[in-house]
Amino acid sequence: MRNWIVTETPFRPTQLNHLETVFTIGNGYLGVRGAFEEGYPGEQPLVLIHGLFNQPEGAEVSELAGVPAWTGLELAFDGARFRLDQGELLGYERTLDLRSGLLRRAVLWRIPGQTVLRLVFERFASLARPHILALRVQATALDGDMMIEAAGGLGDADRSHWTDIEVGRGAPQQAFLQARAAQSGYRLGMAAHFDAGPDIRPEAGSRPTFKFMARRGQTVTLTKFIAIHTSRDAARPLDAARAALGTAVDLGYDALYRESAEAWEATWHASDVEIEGDDFAQLAIRFALYHLLIAAPRDDERVSIGAKTLSGRGYKGHVFWDTELFALAPLTFTQPALARNLLMYRYHLLPGARTKAVNNGFEGAMYPWESTDTGEETTPKWGAPLPPDGRRERIWTGDREIHISADIAYAMRQYWQVSGDDDFMARYGAEVILDTAVFWGSRVEYNAAQDRYEISHVIGPDEYHEDVNNSVFTNVMARRHLQTALEILAWLERHAPAQAGALRDRLALTPARLEHWRDVIAKMYIPRDGDLLVEFDGFFDLEPVDVAAYWPRTRSLQHIYGVPATNRTQIIKQADVVMLMALLGDAFGPPEMQRANWDVYAPRCDHGSSLSAAIHGLVAARLGMSDQAYALWRQAAGVDLEDNKGNAADGAHAAAAGGLWQAIVLGFAGLRQAGDGISLTPNLPPHWRRLRFRVMHRGRLRDVTITPDGVTIA
């Protein structure tokens, strides 16, 4: 591992699927897992495009429909099929250059019993032209002449999703494919160009194929370009793909690569974080940012980042609170245009949130726990069959994990404060915040005996407790949401009175309703015991467990004990009260109060979710416990790079990636917004000699450098 480059050497076949996730390339439009061009037993090639959801027959919910894996190449040398489990593998190195988005693999291979050859594969998804992908293979016969056979088509369409599949060949070096998603109706158009250089003529057949001799020492280059469009971005996807392909072929591989690398450079200029004194941390933060940047939609505000990005099938491509409270902050602070796209996704899907509210007997807008392209609730009700008897667990999050609406409001307010984007707030954000406030107003329950408002039967961030009353996270966030709503309405009245009037009418924001909100804010029940917040009613009556004793463990405690048993204990799945501390910062309470809550909640946490460790790291850093903070940060950094939760094969963890940035900038650097500016209270890990990052605050780029000697902001 060097500072920009993730390396695999030698070949690690036991980590095949994990590394496919690691070596994903993408550009905010699509993601391409790092499966090999030539194939390998057990691999999971996958290409996902934002928003391309479809519900296969018999499935409970919709999922991202994979499109044909365009990377496939069949290669044979002197009649022997090339694959790493055949012939003799003499050397192997795969690298992902995070700086330019180039994935490269060099292989030294002996044709069974014959010639030694060197192969260098490269591929990238253009960041400058989101519909274009390119790959190239350079093959050199080192100690003899060899016969090369190469075929490169478009790959097969998955028939559980695609219908009306039509494939064909245009020009001799080209192939095309079009198809329609059976349930959602989205149409797909893909066009490929494959060549072996100007002098080599393709063979006849169903896909571009070449057969020719290469002399000893000669390097031959095979190049493949792919263009993809869907009916989400073009009226006639195949025509659009063909046109884009033509441009790409005219430009050629090198010019396309240069363009894309320049786009990457501009992106890193805003988002890079430099760490001196810790090579692992340096690479890990860039790796995390890379995965966020390839997942963040650039030209489309009707899609969002799924929990596992576009790099795997985990969670079916669905969008959770992971986006707003974990992945978004690095974009809000460094790529405001991308952050805005993600927030616009929620605005556009307000109708789905209104439907969910009505279906549940409430007013206003209630966002789904899991979201796709429709905005409707898409959390499955039942989990996958479990051994030994194939029983399925009921999944309650779609019914009860309602804090998501407050999380979205929090993210919109944060974006507004950091960017100063009044236009967003006035035209879009306000409607989301106000209509979700209407939801909270109808959701809270008045307890007359105690003269207070309560919220029962919910799930907080700690999903090990699936039916709780007065989740302190939920109640505090709902109260804060109502405060934000009043604040935004007052602001709108001053800045855009016509807009305010229109919203008052449309959302029925009557004086009585606003009065009700004020009453809820004043009387919301916040369970606490002195300085200590109580995670939910009765939490401390549950069975205490010495979580630290379960060490070392690679399985979560819920996995070890099962769902019902864990429910009866004080084991916490992930940052919950600690999440509230991360979000509220100083507003949570004075430092002693923060410390008191940390001391109770951090030791009870299982970190059963990848969302947990980085947030704990952030809070620990703010509390001045830099060694502990670093250990937690280090754990979060291993989620995808080292697969320390054992599930990186399902896709990269967007939330853990965003959490890593948050822990550095909001934790170790201690960035806060202060008035119209920013302030910093650093608490760096002791071995970090220098930390540098940039943030865009109210349209001004701030270049922050922190060393043990002090802080400079340029």
Q: For ligand BGC, how many residues bind (rule: CB under 6 A)?
A: 12
Binding residue for ligand BGC, selected from 307, 366, 468, 472, defined by CB under 6 A? 307
| Cβ neighbour number for residue 676 with a 10 Å cutoff | 9
Residue 127 phi/psi, 5-degree rounding, is -80, -15
Q: Which of 421/466 has CB closer to ligand BGC?
A: 466
Q: How far is the CB of 308 from ligand BGC (least distance, A)?
A: 7
Binding residue for ligand BGC, selected from 271, 609, 626, 635, defined by CB under 6 A? 609
Q: In the window 627-666, what residues touch ligand BGC (CB under 6 A)? A: 655
Q: Which of 38/324 has CB closer to ligand BGC?
A: 324
463 is catalytic: yes
Q: How far is the CB of 22 from ligand BGC (least distance, A)?
A: 18
576 touching ligand BGC, by CB under 6 A:
no
Stretch that binds ligand BGC, among 99-107, 317-325, 620-628, 663-671 (CB under 6 A): 317-325
SS3 breakdown of the chain: % helix, strand, coil, rounded to 5? 40, 25, 40
Give the residue ranges of DSSP H helices in 360-469. Answer: 397-400, 404-419, 422-424, 430-443
Provide the residue type at 297 as one letter. P
Could you tell me if residue 379 is left (phi over 0), alpha (psi between -120 and 50 degrees) or otherwise beta?
A: beta
Q: What is the DSSP secondary-structure string of 213-267?
A: EE-TT-EEEEEEEEEEEETTT-SSHHHHHHHHHHHHHHH-HHHHHHHHHHHHHHH
320 touching ligand BGC, by CB under 6 A:
yes
Site string for ligand BGC, 454-493 (x = CB under 6 A): -------x-x------------------------------
Catalytic option among 37, 377, 401, 463: 463
| Cβ neighbour number for residue 338 with a 10 Å cutoff | 22
| Cβ neighbour number for residue 568 with a 10 Å cutoff | 13
Per-residue burial over 697-708, b = 16 or more CB atoms within 10 Å of its CB, e = otherwise: beeeebebebbe
Q: Taking CA 408 as the corner, what is the angle to CA 402 and CA 413, rounded to the nearest 5 degrees?
A: 140
The span from the CA of 485 to the CA of 79, in Å, is 70
Which distant-in-sequence residues (6+ apart) come within 8 Å of 615 by Cβ?
326, 574, 575, 578, 579, 582, 659, 662, 663
Stretch that binds ligand BGC, among 51-59, 118-126, 316-324, 436-444 (CB under 6 A): 316-324
323 touching ligand BGC, by CB under 6 A:
no
Q: Which of 166/467 has CB closer to ligand BGC?
A: 467
In whole angstroms, how far apart are CA 671 and each of 198, 560, 661, 677? 56, 38, 12, 10
Q: Which of 136/645 has CB closer to ligand BGC?
A: 645
606 touching ligand BGC, by CB under 6 A:
no
399 touching ligand BGC, by CB under 6 A:
no
322 touching ligand BGC, by CB under 6 A:
yes
Site string for ligand BGC, 337-366 (x = CB under 6 A): ------------------------------
Q: 674 burial class (0-12, 13-18, 19+ CB within 10 angstroms)? A: exposed
Q: Which of 33/607 has CB closer to ligand BGC?
A: 607
Q: How far is the CB of 290 from ligand BGC (least distance, A)?
A: 19
Is residue 610 within 8 Å of residue 656, measured between CB atoms?
yes
321 touching ligand BGC, by CB under 6 A:
yes
Q: Which of 149/463 has CB closer to ligand BGC?
A: 463
Q: Which of 398/585 has CB closer to ligand BGC?
A: 398
Mutual orientation of helices 430-443 and 350-359 as an angle, nearest 10°? 10
Which residues are tagged catalytic? Answer: 463
Binding site for ligand BGC (CB under 6 A): 307, 315, 320-322, 461, 463, 573-574, 609, 611, 655
